[in-house]
Every structure is written in structure tokens, then in C-alpha cells.
Amino acid sequence: MVADVMSRNRFQNLLATLHFIDNTDVSNRQAEDKCWKIRPWLDMFRKQCLDITPEEHNSIDEQMVSFRGTHSPIRQYVKGKPHPWGLKIWSRCSASGILCDFAVYEGGTSKKSSLGDVVVKLCETLPSDHNYKVFADNLFSSAPLVLNLLQQKIYFVGTLHANRVAACQLEDEKSLAKRGRGSVDSRVEKEESMVIVKWYDNKSVILISSYCGVEPQDNAQRWSKADKAFVEVSRPHIVKQYNTFMGRVDLLDACIARCKYHMRSRRWYICLFWHTIMLGLVNAWLIYRRDCKLLGVQNTLKQRRFQAEVATSLILWQAQRGRPSLSATSPPPPLPKRIRVGVPDDVRTDQVAHWPVKHDKRGRCKLCKINATTTLCEKCDVRLCFTEERNCFKLYHLA
């Protein structure tokens, strides 16, 4: 169905001429905005993401769009990522993995800013009629960020670097290790409604929160190298909350990687465009799953099948455009098949003016389908080869 609607050459021609703004107009260029070439599309896509009803729990993390080209003002290198070279996006996802807001990272600026400002910017679009909870890792977390979000009635949970809690005297890692796995130490700031927890498992981890702390504790299974078996380890409530709701951006990346179309381009903003297309498809599928669960309807469409249904619906919608006689319920007529017209037999065997000529490009022989040749029949307009074993040019024109 896709091949009948659009040929490969037309698709490539449209892709080669795809632009989102007039690049030749100097007035469109903005020195502060490095994504001005694709800014109208990003603003339109972000507006659609903001229309999605947010959930109570949200996680913030980074995404990498693979791009190995050198002509990009925002290309980044992040060590340890599956695609270390690419374009970085800050994303806020709900507990279902649905993308609710994002911001393309354009590199450092002369103004002093921290990554905590990114979290504040992504949380500004949350409605103020509900107390939302946001989760982030130690790349963003800090005590000033927690206080800033509390002013917006947004609760925060995240891991924390040890050098960001120098003023908070917590028990050192050696003493926690002597007490064994599952030992915990915490400090509470009652005036600011903030708690910092240090928990020891294989090694210590520090977490900060504005709505949950150590209690109530539960037990979690952890692997013990000494016993070579799973053991029960005491776990604080803040760790349980973090492990449950953090990592939603990674879930979104996994869904994109599962059914990704690899499109290569030298223009960096085309790679960003294709990534937003995949984000839109995955978002639609995740919303479909969420709605099926809320309505008690069985989820019958897997991700790949859902994408095929979306493509089919768009093709049928395009076929019905400009045809007002079609009713909304009746299916559209089948699309015409492509017909390849060959050389008529009476023309092929008339033995008149079949001159061999040379062509610039090589092509497959029409008769043997094996050899590539530059010899072309001037009258039949087909490529035919000359070899020592077989003269396809002569055999083709015989009766």
C-alpha cells in the first residue's frame, strides 16, 4: 500500500527539499536560537505534547538523538551512551512513559545557569491544581532545586552527589558498611520540609526528597556474591519510590529503539525531525495502552501493528481527500496498481533500426538479468549485453 501511494524516488525528492523555514531569509536567523531552522516544527510538536493530560508522577532525564555529522551547532558527546555522538534533549515523561514536555539542549551560554533550571523550566508547564511529584537523577538534584519546586507545589525525589551535601553531616560510608547492607542514615530539615537519606547496599547512595523519607521501610531482594543467592535487604521508602517511578525516559527510548526507522542525513535538523515523528508514534501508542487500561478494554494492538494501522489510516485519509462523493462509512476504492509497460513483440522483432548505443550509466541486461552493461538499444530503450558466451542483443530481437 505504501509503495502504491508514493515511489521511492518521489520520497527521496521530497526529503531532499524538506525545510521548515526559509533559510535564505536573514530575518529568520536568530543568534541566540541555534535551532531556528526547525523551531516552528519543534514549537508545534511541543504544543501537542503539552495538551496531554499529565500524570501524578513524572521523571526528567536526557535523550540522545544519534547524529555523527560534523555540521551541527548543537552536537554533543556523552560518554557511556549507546549513541555517544548526537543531539541532546531534556525530556519530562509521565509514569506511563508518555512524553509531556521537552527542550533541545543548545550548548552552554555565557549566562550562569545550572541544570536545575532545566527541571524548573520543564515543570513550569504542569498545572497548579494538583500536587505533582518529579523524579530526577544526581545530574539535576540539589537542595535549592527542591526549595524552588516546593514554591510551585511540586514535590521532588532524586539522587544527590556527595559534594552537594557538604553542610549536612551524614554517617560516612565505612561505618555504614560495618553495620551491613540495608543500613541507613538520614537528616530532616523541618523548616524547609526536606529530608536527605544515605542508604548502603553494595555501596552508599544519597537521596533527597520533599515528601517521603525513610519510613515505612520494606525488604528488597538483592544478590549476594558471598552467598551466591538472593538475600533480603531493608530498603527505605524513598528508595522504593525512586526505583518505581524513575527511568520513564529510558522506557520511552526503548520503545523508540524497538521500531525505529534508520534514516541517514547530513542535515542535523532532519535527524531531529525523524526523532519527533517516532516520539509522536510512541506517544500515541502509550496513550492508547493507558486508555485501554482505564476503560477496561483489552489491548489488542502491539507497537508494530499500531504503527501499521496509523500508516494505513493516513493513506486512506489522503485517498479520500478531494472526493466528496465518498461517504464516511463506505470504504474508498482500491488504489490503482502500477503497471510496467514492456516493448511490444511486433516492434521488438521488426528488424528495423535497432542500433546499439552507449549510455553513461550501467544497468542490468533485459534478457539475461545477470550482466551489467552500458549498451542500449536505441529503438527499444532497453539495456542488452554482449558477451563471448551469449549475444543478448541479437537474441532479444529474434522472433
| 223-272 pLDDT, tens digit each | 888 888 888 888 888 888 888 888 888 888 888 888 877 778 888 888 99
Q: What interhelical angle do 268-295 and 248-258 show, nearest 10? A: 110
Distance CA 85, CA 79 (A): 9
pLDDT band at 41, cuts 50/70/90? very high
pLDDT band at 111, cuts 50/70/90? low
Residue 44 has pLDDT above 90, yes or no: yes
Residue 36 has pLDDT above 70, yes or no: yes
**Percent of the chain surpassing pLDDT 90:** 10
Residue 112 has pLDDT above 60, yes or no: no
Distance CA 307, CA 315 (A): 12
Whether the CB-CB separation of 210 and 196 falls below 8 Å is answered with: no
Distance from chain centroid for Cα 390:
53
Whether the CB-CB separation of 71 and 266 falls below 8 Å is answered with: yes
Q: In a 10 Å sphere around its CB, with 0-12 CB exposed, 13-18 middle and 19+ buried, how is residue 199 labelled?
A: buried
Distance CA 110, CA 102 (A): 22
Q: What is the mean pLDDT of residues 45-71?
A: 89
pLDDT band at 336, cuts 50/70/90? low
Instruction: Set out the domains of the chain in order of their start, with CATH numbers.
Output: 35-304 (3.90.350), 345-397 (no CATH)
Determine the Cα angle at 119 with ends 267 and 254, to 5°. Answer: 55
Q: What is the mean pLDDT of residues 331-339?
A: 63
Distance CA 211, CA 157 (A): 8
Lowest-confidence region among 36-45, 107-116, 175-184, 236-245:
107-116
Distance CA 391, CA 399 (A): 15
pLDDT band at 325, cuts 50/70/90? very low
Ranges 27-36, 43-52, 78-87, 343-352, most confident: 43-52
Residue 93: the pLDDT is: 92
Residue 282: the pLDDT is: 92
Residue 284: the pLDDT is: 92
Alpha helices in the chain (DSSP H): 2-5, 8-16, 39-50, 115-123, 143-151, 173-179, 237-245, 248-258, 268-295, 303-320, 345-348, 392-396
Q: In the numeric block, which cell numbers belong to residue 87? A: 543531539
